[in-house]
């Protein structure tokens, strides 16, 4: 028996439940408890929606040029590549009396609060430390504080999200259908958080709820961002505390035997590389399709509101007052589009299981929606060209026509369909494929996360410079994303194996890890 099988056997024998003793640990937990844990995604995604919709424009207002603004997002994938596998590994082995997952979820929520405070008050702290407030002068100190807070926020998000998904897998107890349902509810609550976050981001008078948010160094845009984060952390703390209080966790105690000592002596990075070494074809195919899928998604998630401000509305964050105002108007319209996208995501998340059965399985559904993603990203070129043609006749400060604006917002909404699948099916497949793996659910999800963060690193490092080669703007990297989406769709339909439709658990060695 190998190290991973030995560890799996030892873990199964050593897991004890801190809930009521009459509960059967081999059966899935009640759906209400799965929903309670999944609701943490609403608080998590509220803040993430604010990051995606408002922070790229915000760093440009602080003085970072457009072509370098993507580098600020490099901290996300770097922290994800390092933090989530480590957190997943240690959450599989945590011996706390509070359980394996709950300590990490609580720590992640606390870190989010610290990070949001630093980001929201970066301009104020920078001004007190000597930043000048002239429009054309980069606020170096504010940028440094913002970047530090942003790093903490991404570390916190990864500390929170990985154990949350692993907790859902634990509560599903190896049942394939319940695992898909749990990830579907996680996606649903992500959509709820998105709707709230993008709605808050699109409302330009939110700062009036918090009069103290607007200061000499923090204008209306900054004050709105700060106010949004106040609401975000409040929601996150409410859902996290209530869920961790209601749903008890499994407490893990290493068995005292030679086999367990041998398996527990495997170093973390040794186990990571060991997991890759013994992965079989289904898991490798899942990683490949996931990586291509995120090469497609990340440029749009990173620059969607910037695209609305620049290409659709014709504004410029570094231009005169009129162009900056037009750019900000486009950013708020982009936040509205993201809210519409999240509403579609919300309803689509509830139907993933049913639609998957109708189209012939999870992998076929994933393949189909990747083609929808490819078409949607390609359509950004057409919308941008139509907007540019309208400005030639109506004037540079006219903004888009009502038809172009409606087309752009419709594009946002349609992309909610593939986004619902991206947020649920890959994670469900990872849990199902690796169910018989001794690597543990936390580590398995951490390995899948590498297929998400490495493409993000590629886009963060090269996206801005690649766009600059073609004259700036966002369209070149969107076209690359459309191509990657089409390829991932083909691979999902042809090479990705189908999981067992309703198997309670996979047989050892059948899929994922051997």
* Nearest alpha carbon to residue 285 among 126, 91, 448: 448
Does 406 have pLDDT greater than 90? Answer: yes
- At 340-386, the pLDDT tens digits run 888 898 888 888 888 888 888 888 999 999 999 999 999 999 999 99
Q: Are 425 and 366 in contact (CB under 8 A)?
A: yes
**Looking at the domain assignment, is residue 468 inside a domain?**
yes
Q: Is there a single domain that holds both residue 124 and residue 226?
A: yes
Q: Is residue 65 part of a domain?
A: yes
Contact criterion met (CB below 8 Å) for 458 and 78: no
Q: Note if the pTM is more than 0.75.
A: no
Same domain, 206 and 355: no
The DSSP result for 190-254, as a single string, is HHHHHHHHHHHHH-TTGGGGSGGG--SSS-HHHHHHHHHHHHHHHHHHHHHHHHHHHS--EEE--
Task: Give CA–CA dist 57/66, Å, rounded.
Answer: 9
* 15 lies in some domain: no
pLDDT in tens, 154-194: 888 878 888 888 888 888 877 777 887 887 888 889 888 88
Does residue 354 sit in the same domain as residue 247? no
Confidence of residue 433 (pLDDT cuts 50, 70, 90): confident
Do residues 384 and 475 touch, judged by C-beta distance below 8 A? yes
Query: Residue 227 belongs to what domain range?
Result: 29-251
Same domain, 233 and 292: no
pLDDT digits (tens, 9 = 90+) for 317-348: 777 778 888 988 898 888 888 888 888 988 88
487 in any annotated domain? yes
Q: Are 104 and 232 contained in the same domain?
A: yes
Q: What is the mean pLDDT of residues 414-428?
A: 89
Of the candidates 381, 374, 336, 302, the one whose C-alpha atom is nearest the C-alpha of residue 72 is 302
Residues 229 and 324 in one domain: no
Total domains, the chain: 2
CB atoms within 10 A of CB 308: 32
* Residue 374: other Cβ atoms inside 10 A: 21
**For residue 44, what pLDDT is reported?**
86
Q: Is the pLDDT of residue 408 over 90?
A: yes
| Residue 257 within a domain | no
Residue 342 and residue 304 in one domain: yes
Q: Is 279 helix (H, G, I), strand (E, B) or coil?
A: strand
Question: Do 219 and 150 reside in the same domain of the chain?
Answer: yes
Cβ neighbours of 238 (radius 10 Å)? 13
The verdict on 228 and 340 lying in the same domain is no
Residue 19 lies in a domain: no
Element (DSSP H or E) covering residue 17: strand 15-17
Q: Is 168 left (phi over 0), alpha (psi -120 to 50) or beta?
A: alpha
Measured CA distances, 14 to 87, 248, 249, 257 (Å): 20, 17, 14, 11
Q: What are phi and psi of 219, to 5 degrees?
A: -75, -170
For residue 392, count other CB atoms closer than 10 A to its CB: 9
Backbone φ and ψ of 17, nearest 5°? -100, 135
**pLDDT band of 431, cuts 50, 70, 90:** confident
Residue 320 shares a structural domain with residue 392: yes
The answer to whether residue 3 sits within a structural domain is no
Q: Mind listing the pLDDT tens digit for each residue in 122-140?
A: 888 888 888 777 766 777 8
* pLDDT for residue 70: 62
Q: What's the rounded mean pLDDT across residues 439-455?
A: 71
Dihedral class, residue 315 (left if φ above 0, else alpha if ψ from -120 to 50, else beta): beta
* Structural element, H or E, at residue 15: strand 15-17
CA atoms of 154 and 347, how far apart (whole Å): 27
490: its two tokens? 């083909």
Confirm if 435 and 174 have CB atoms less than 8 A apart.
yes
Query: What DSSP character marks residue 2?
Result: -
- CATH no. for residue 327? 1.20.1250.20
Tell me which of 75-89, 158-172, 214-228, 317-331 is least confident: 75-89
The structure tokens listed for 356 are 């998957």
Mean pLDDT, the chain, rounded, equals 77
Q: Are residues 226 and 293 both part of a single domain?
A: no
In a domain, 287, yes or no: yes
Q: Which residue has the higher pLDDT, 488 or 29?
A: 488
Based on the fold, state whether residues 284 and 185 are members of the same structural domain. Answer: no
Contact 248, 17 (CB under 8 A): yes
């Amino acid at each position: 028996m190998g190290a991973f099988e030995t560890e799996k056997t030892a873990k199964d024998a050593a897991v004890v439940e801190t809930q009521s003793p009459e509960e059967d640990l081999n059966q899935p937990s009640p759906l209400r408890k799965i929903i309670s844990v999944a609701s943490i995604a609403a608080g998590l995604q509220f803040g993430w929606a604010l990051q995606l919709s408002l922070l790229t424009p915000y760093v440009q207002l602080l003085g970072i040029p457009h072509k370098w603004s993507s580098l600020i997002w490099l901290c996300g994938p770097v922290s994800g590549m390092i933090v989530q596998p480590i957190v997943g590994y240690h959450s599989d082995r945590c011996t706390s009396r509070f359980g394996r997952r709950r300590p990490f979820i609580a720590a992640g929520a606390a870190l989010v609060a610290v990070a949001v405070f630093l980001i929201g008050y970066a301009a104020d702290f920078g001004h007190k430390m000597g930043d000048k407030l002239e429009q054309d002068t980069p606020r170096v100190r504010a940028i440094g504080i913002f970047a530090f807070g942003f790093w903490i926020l991404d570390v916190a998000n990864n500390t929170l999200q990985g154990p949350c998904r692993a907790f859902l897998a634990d509560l599903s107890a190896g049942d394939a259908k319940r695992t898909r349902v749990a990830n579907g509810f996680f996606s649903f609550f992500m959509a709820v958080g998105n709707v709230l976050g993008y709605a808050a981001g699109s409302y330009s008078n939110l700062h009036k709820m918090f009069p103290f948010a607007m200061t000499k160094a923090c204008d209306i845009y900054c004050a709105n961002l700060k106010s949004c984060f106040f609401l975000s952390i409040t929601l996150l703390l409410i859902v996290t505390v209530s869920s961790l209080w209601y749903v008890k966790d499994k407490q893990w105690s290493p068995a005292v035997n030679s086999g367990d000592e041998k398996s527990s002596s495997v170093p973390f990075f040794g186990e990571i590389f060991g997991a890759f070494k013994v992965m079989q074809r289904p898991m490798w195919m899942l990683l490949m399709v996931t990586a291509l899928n995120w090469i497609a998604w990340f440029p749009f998630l990173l620059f969607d509101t910037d695209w609305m401000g620049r290409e659709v509305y014709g504004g410029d964050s570094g231009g005169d007052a009129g162009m900056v105002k037009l750019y900000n108007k486009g950013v708020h319209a982009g936040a509205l589009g993201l809210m519409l996208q999240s509403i579609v995501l919300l309803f689509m998340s509830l139907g993933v299981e049913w639609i998957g059965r109708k189209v012939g399985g999870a992998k076929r559904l994933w393949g189909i929606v990747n083609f929808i993603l490819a078409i949607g990203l390609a359509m950004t070129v057409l919308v941008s060209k139509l907007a540019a043609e309208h400005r030639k006749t109506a004037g540079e400060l006219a903004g888009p026509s009502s038809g172009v604006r409606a087309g752009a917002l419709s594009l946002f909404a349609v992309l909610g369909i593939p986004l619902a699948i991206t947020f649920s099916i890959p994670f469900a497949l990872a849990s199902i494929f690796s169910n018989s793996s001794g690597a543990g659910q936390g580590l398995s999800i951490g390995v899948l996360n590498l297929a998400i963060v490495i493409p993000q690193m590629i886009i963060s490092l090269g996206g801005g410079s690649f766009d600059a080669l073609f004259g700036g703007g966002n369209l070149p990297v969107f076209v690359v994303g459309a191509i990657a989406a089409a390829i991932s769709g083909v691979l999902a339909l042809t090479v990705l194996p189908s999981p067992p439709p309703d198997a309670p658990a996979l047989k050892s060695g059948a899929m994922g890890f051997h």
